[in-house]
Each structure stands twice: as C-alpha cells, then as structure tokens.
Structure 1
Amino acid sequence: MIRIQYVLFLLIFLFETVPVFAADITIHCTSDSCSNEKIELFGSNKNWYPGMWIKKTLGVKNTSSKDGIFVKIKPVEQDLDTSGCQLESQMILSVSNSSNKKVLWGGSLRDFYSTTNALPLSFISAKNTQEYIFT
C-alpha cells in the first residue's frame, strides 16, 4: 500500500510541476552603462510563416548598490522592405513586464524599427532584476 502511495505521489509531482525558464539574454547595468548594449533577440535566419510566433525573455540586472536605473530600449535602424508585401507591417511585436504581465509597448515591427525615440520600459531599483518578454 505504501509503495502505491509513493508511486502516485511521484506521478502527481511529475505532472504538476511547472517549468521555470531563465532569461534568454541578460544585461548587467549600472547607473553609468550596460553590458551587451547591442543585442539581437530574434535571429535573422528564421523562416517565418503565417501564425508563427516567438517568445524571448530579456533580463536586466541593476548591479549598482545604491542607484536605481530607468530602463529604455532603442531599436537599431533596419532596412525595411519598401516594395512587395511589407511583412514587417503585418508582424506584431509586444513587449511586456514579466512580473505583472503589463504590456509596455505594442505595434508592428515597422513601427518598432522606425521609432526615433527610446521606448521606456521600467525603473529597476539597486541590486534588483527585471525581465521583459518580447513576443
């Protein structure tokens, strides 16, 4: 009887656990600068098709012991398709805060790469980490 209970416990444990994933990319920042300032979240070697989606997590760690930082993201200019189907106008990007799931920015890839201003994400206090989800 004890053996059956033990096996049932193991089966429940195996099927009820939720996987925990680390950030795909982590950036370390101080009040002066950040490491890995230029990153590529989505590889250019993907074969996109209708209905495809990708989720990437970006972690930002404030390594400063006394200063909080305000995190902003500025996309690097890309050559956008000016002829044909203009796929970047049809593809939607969403940036959200992983802790509260609040959407911080949303729009087409064309809008994202065409922006001239840095997009504000959040404030991170000293010695804390925040993760952002890009989908």
Structure 2
Amino acid sequence: MRAGVAGLPSPHPIGEQLPAVYAEDRFVQGFTGALDEVLAPVLSTLDNFAGYLDPGLAPEDFVGWLATWVALRVDESWSPAQLRQLVTSSVELHRWRGTRRGLAEHVRLLTGGAVEVTDSGGGVESPQPGAPLPDPG
C-alpha cells in the first residue's frame, strides 16, 4: 500500500513555507511536520500520477482498477503480465469489437497462440419475423 511508506519525505515541507515568525515555533513546526508525514504519500502519488495511468508501470493492484476504466472484466486466472497487456490493448480492441479482427486479437491475447478465424461474412435475414429467408445466392 502506497500510504504506508515509512519515512517518506515531503517534497514541499509546510514548515519551510511559513513566514519567518513561525520558523522557530516548536509547536507550529511539529504540527506542520505531522501534516507533512500525512500528506507525503498523497504528494508522491500525484507527482507520479502518469505512471499510475500506464498499465506497464502502475502498481499491480492499480492495474485491476485501470481495467474497470476500459470495461475489462478481470479473470482471476490471468497473470499480472497478461492483465497489463489486456489493459494496454483495450482501447484498440474496443475499436475492433464485433469484427473478425477483434475476435482474433482477443483470443490471441487470452491464449497466447496463433488464431485463424474463418467467416464467410455472409448472412441473410427475412424482412418480417417468421417469414421465409430469401435465397442468399
């Protein structure tokens, strides 16, 4: 957990930014030092926010949350590397959703194997429910 980093220094200590009259006040410096300790993990997270949004760099527990951003249902059997790859590829996969290419890419990412999808691409439908199908020829 990122909030539990012991001794994480604050990049911008509050006590150093106060007017000179408070620089030697032990209570104020102690109080702001406690605030620095509480705020340091928050500031560290914000300073590194771009890394949290990159599935290749984000902490493992955060990648699962990123998956929800791209409507990816996480399967517990996936390895962390597989999940990172799927989250990274999600936007492109959504672009091809419902197509032969999209299906092949999904299966390839999930299985790691070569995929060949055979589809005639043709289909027929009747203009009214229950009516006979037209001749596809």
Length-normalised TM-score, structure 1 = 0.25
Length-normalised TM-score, structure 2 = 0.25
Larger of the two Rg values belongs to structure = 2
More helix by share: 2
More strand by share: 1
